[in-house]
Structure 1
């Protein structure tokens, strides 16, 4: 019944996440295998669908404005994560996974970098649980903060793309703020996600790993293709709004699945030190990027 409600117009991404969290803490996730297997795919197809509602010219402009923030924040986060991880005496793999998840795009970055590191399942689980908990907090906290500070749509979209880990929560928070914020946030976040490739390759070199394969985030190419079709092929305007609506429903269901997978057991498995690293990195990135966005 809850899943069906998430498909109705009354369900929003934050509400869907909250319902998923409630389900996880009370009855438990009734379909753990399904959510683990299909959540990422549903998110990826939803992102592609959102491309049918965006204009390529506006996206290029948004991406151009966000590129300097992207480069500085990614390398600054990775460096800070290394320093704080050593101070906390965390393992190198967990430190690097959480740092990559914070710097680039949450679970997608961790999933891409983990095999390159040949990280153990426990290390992957700790890193994923850390960023997913912080994602949930950000999805609820960012829109009220944006309104309290009177951020413009452009400013809020850029802040979301830089300071929130996962694409799902970025899109959910930006959609709650407004249409322009959603366009800016999605474009900048997906441009940021392309850094998975050079970061994963650099990881293989730094950690001296050989014979590893780096997966191309193909859904970003799908998003770009959908956006180009919407911009240059007028015929797509007939089905475009329907595809965008389907994508937003898919995103809402995705966040419900993510919330349903965040049980107390999963949260407790993180441990204090990895969670401390994740929180510290997130707070620094959030506050520093917000200050720059407002004052520069």
Structure 2
């Protein structure tokens, strides 16, 4: 009887996140120019309804399941939309720009985070979201470093607010600087975080710029793989150091603890897509499922998050995110000028 009750309670939570995902996607499709991604919207709506859901649902079992398990499944399926050949198609110039923008996000992100006396997990989630690919990267790294729901919500909010500004300002700046379609696509694909915002800003400039920006953005997403492995090692070292004073705990380094298996499956999906085992059509279908699961997962994180707890982090993390985002925008543009792409 107790087992049946647990299953029913879990189903309640799953149904709630499913409805939230459908509503968020519907609203996003109605809004013009894709100014807000469905994942971010689902998280924000979830935070608003957190107090109500907490009162009505008998338990958060189903919501926890979606937030933790389904999130990893969505990351794995995302690999079906990516191909290693895209790296070659994008070309050496975009890869050079990405190296500099990633270095900027992580180096200055950590320096400013320490200066602001921020928790390292929140600081690095903002850096990951800014440097790699917004919500997808934050979602991939958060379980690795065992980030709190409040930190995930804040990091997503920080990158989202900046993206909203860039969707409006980037096309204006591109026209002002007289950028080519290629240059603007590269700038947008490497400097704006969320995919929906990249699409909105780049296609507002021209269709050619939009097509190029999407390829750059997808290639940028592949950086998730090495970054997640690095954070796995870093988090393992930090936890190992924290346990050293406890003689009863095992403080030895364990390779199995730093291998995020869902990222290995993500990489397998990328390889299968690259060699043609997964066709472009099937890969597109799996990508759509991945995006839906991502919306459900981030909506579940929103439902688990108390807005007051997020607000307690203060304004400094938001300033941190804004500074890092501006630095990435500037570095991307400067490197292109040096390479003669603008």
TM-score by length of 2: 0.61
| Cα 1:228/1:59, change in 2 over 3 Å | farther
Question: 2: distance between equivalents of 1:158 and 1:195?
Answer: 21
> Secondary structure in 1 aligned to 2:106?
helix
Shift of 1:156: 5.5
Partner of 1:83: 111
Larger-Rg structure: 2
Shift of 1:251: 1.4
Structure-1-length-normalised TM-score: 0.69
Indicate yes or no: 2:97 matched with 1:69.
yes
Question: Contact 2:232–2:259 at 8 Å: present in 1 too?
Answer: no
Cα pair distance change 1:154/1:241, threshold 3 Å: farther
The residue that corresponds to 1:118 in the other structure is: none
SS in 1 for 2:223: helix
The aligned counterpart of 1:258 is 298
Partners of 2:44 and 2:120 lie apart in 1 by: 34
Gaps of at least 5 residues in structure 1 are 116-120
Alignment of 1:113-192 (within 5 A): 114=145, 124-148=148-172, 149-150=174-175, 154-155=182-183, 158-159=186-187, 162-164=190-192, 169=194, 171-176=195-200, 177=203, 178-191=210-223
Asked if the contact 1:7/1:249 (under 8 Å) is kept, the reply is no
SS at 1:195 equivalent: helix
Deviates more, 1:212-221 or 1:249-258: 249-258
Match for residue 286 of structure 1 among 320, 324, 329: 329
Change (3 A) 1:265 1:157: farther
Change (3 A) 1:268 1:96: same
Q: Is the 8 A contact 1:101 1:109 kept in 2?
A: no
Question: Higher RCO, 1 or 2 (CA under 8 Å, sep at least 6)?
Answer: 1
Provide the aligned C-alpha RMSD in A.
4.1
Gaps in structure 2 of 5+ consecutive residues: 1-18, 54-61, 204-209, 242-251
Residue 197, structure 1, aligned to residue 226, structure 2: no
In the other structure, the counterpart of 1:59 is 87
